[in-house]
Amino acid sequence: MARPTSVFVCQECGAVYPKWSGRCDACLAWNTLIEEAAAADGHPGRERGHARRLAFVPLDGEGGPLARRGTGLDELDRVTGGGLVPGSAILIGGDPGIGKSTLLLQVAARLSGSMTAVYISGEEAIGQLRLRATRLGVRTAPVQLAAATAVNEIAASLDVAKAADVVVIDSIQTMFIDGLESAPGTVAQVRASAQALIRIAKRRGFVLLLVGHVTKEGTIAGPRVLEHMVDAVLYFEGERGHQFRILRAVKNRFGPTDEIGVFEMTDAGLQEVRNPSALFLAERESQVPGSAVFAGIEGTRPVLVEIQALIAPSPLGTPRRTVVGWDSGRLAMLLAVLEARCGMSFGAADVFLNVAGGFRVAEPAADLAVAAAIVSAASGNALPPDTVVFGEVGLAGEVRAVARADARLKEAAKLGFTQAILPSRRAPADGTLDMRLHRVGLLSELLTTLKP
């Protein structure tokens, strides 16, 4: 009898069934059976009596640092930790239309000068890809193109020696494997397709770049399992209405995960942004109440962003707290500290907070800048001109020291800022920079500092 090409696996307990059913007989969970490709050759170790013995090697053996392939795009190299590692698989996730295909076609074009770069699209026809390449100014780059969705065909083409050095699959949700009944984009298909492609990448030593669309819930469509299968996961983010895009590593087996790469979407594709602070602050009105510039750190790099607050009398019984680009729980905490320690009151006011330009701030060091924006909005007095703010705020109203104050100040000085409001604890000594430093130890001192 022919072996079945697929089986149904309970995602809760792992029990395997030849047919689908609504409930797993083993753990009694409902709706957990998912179709998967049956293993072609079973488990070799279990079937054969004597498996091949492993050849163990010492930990301190040969093999220095990983040979990486620089892409020529500094922002991408920074996020990957110095370039692409041969034989590794990288997932690039992001909302539809954010620019994933654009980025990867540009990367493939750059790399094609020195190595074999393959771009396989399951979403666009060859003509469309060529049109985009023309727009990006890379029409003559020797990229190998294919429009395909059948993983078996792709595997047959790539699973030969020296077929490619870097392979882009755009996108993993359009790929499918023969023998699985489920449609492309389903958990089973995405997982089986990725598994097959990653296996070939490891065997043939090429870099595999998988595009993955993000669902409404914010995860890469289909399964989280995809994130476990690959070596690195990069998210491409940005607000649709804004021109800049941020590439962020959320997992990286070969490098750091706190670096960001900043790009700007232009008429001719993505341009690297060498100085993100200048871009984020480009449209700032400095003498408006409720605006503060936060000197933040993203990865190894200082980044200045504008934080805006607006406070308005609330017509509602429960006033609104609206936050864009920051944590709403953290805003609630800061408002409570301002009420308890500084005698302010927000009980009858709507509070709106916005990190300008669509950037997302995650550092606690932004507390003091947010507080400054709120205090300024409430009082109607603008902050002193050319001032940056940073510091963490505790529940007792104390302003805590934050890491890398020097780097923050240096970046601010570089962009022409002349004053800083910062924690008094472990603050850098005066005189090293040509800046006026206002040190605050308690949040209440911030109010005095901001009095005109």
Are 92 and 211 within 8 A, CB to CB? Answer: yes
Which residue in 265, 365, 420, 435 binds ligand TYD (CB under 6 A)? Answer: 265
Q: Which two tokens stand for residue 79?
A: 């996020």
Phi, psi of 293 (to 5 degrees): -100, 120
**Residues 207-246: x where in contact with ligand TYD by CB under 6 A, - otherwise, as a string:** ----------------------------------------
Indicate the residue among 6 and 101 with the shorter CB distance to ligand TYD: 101
Indicate the residue among 166 and 371 with the shorter CB distance to ligand TYD: 166
CB of 265 to ligand TYD, least distance (A): 5
Indicate the residue among 45 and 96 with the shorter CB distance to ligand TYD: 96
97 is in an annotated binding site: yes
Token look-up 């602070």 returns 277
Residue 16: which of ligand TYD, Mg ion, none does it interact with, CB under 5 to 8 A by kind? none
Indicate the residue among 100 and 204 with the shorter CB distance to ligand TYD: 100
Phi, psi of 201 (to 5 degrees): -60, -45
Residue with smallest beta-carbon separation from Mg ion: 101
CB of 100 to Mg ion, least distance (A): 5
220 is in an annotated binding site: no
Phi, psi of 280 (to 5 degrees): -65, -25
CB of 71 to ligand TYD, least distance (A): 17
Name the amino acid, one letter, at 16.
Answer: V
Task: Report the C-alpha gap between 296 and 412 in whole angstroms.
Answer: 10
185 is in an annotated binding site: no
**Residues 178-217: x where in contact with Mg ion by CB under 5 A, - otherwise, as a string:** ----------------------------------------
- For the packed helices 126-136 and 100-111, what is the interaxial angle rounded to 10 degrees? 80
User: Residue 327 to residues 140, 171, 364, 397: CA-CA distances in angstroms?
Assistant: 46, 31, 10, 19
DSSP structure class, residue 361: -
Token look-up 């007989």 returns 25
Number of residues that bind ligand TYD (CB under 6 A): 15
Indicate the residue among 89 and 98 with the shorter CB distance to ligand TYD: 98
Residue 268: which of Mg ion, ligand TYD, none does it interact with, CB under 5 to 8 A by kind? ligand TYD
61 is in an annotated binding site: no
User: Residue 278 to residues 181, 206, 274: CA-CA distances in angstroms?
Assistant: 52, 37, 9
Which residue in 81, 83, 93, 99 binds ligand TYD (CB under 6 A)? Answer: 99
Residue 132: which of ligand TYD, Mg ion, none does it interact with, CB under 5 to 8 A by kind? ligand TYD
Name the amino acid, one letter, at 200.
Answer: I
Which residue in 69, 78, 132, 408 binds ligand TYD (CB under 6 A)? Answer: 132
Cα angle at 59 between 58 and 61, to 5 degrees? 70
Which residue in 4, 14, 45, 96 binds ligand TYD (CB under 6 A)? Answer: 96
DSSP structure class, residue 365: G
Buried b (16+ CB within 10 A) or exposed e, 116-150: bbbbbbbbbeeeebeebbeebebeebebebebebe
Number of residues that bind Mg ion (CB under 5 A): 1
Token look-up 């604890």 returns 425
Q: Which two tokens stand for residue 32?
A: 């957990």
Asked if residue 379 has a cis previous peptide bond (ω within 30° of 0), the answer is: no
> C-alpha 231: how far from its chain's center?
14
Name the amino acid, one letter, at 49.
Answer: G
Which residue in 66, 82, 135, 258 binds ligand TYD (CB under 6 A)? Answer: 135
**Residues 69-108: x where in contact with Mg ion by CB under 5 A, - otherwise, as a string:** --------------------------------x-------
**Residues 267-306: x where in contact with ligand TYD by CB under 6 A, - otherwise, as a string:** xxx-------------------------------------
Q: What is the binding site for ligand TYD (CB under 6 A)? A: 94, 96-102, 132, 135-136, 265, 267-269
Q: What is the binding site for Mg ion (CB under 5 A)? A: 101
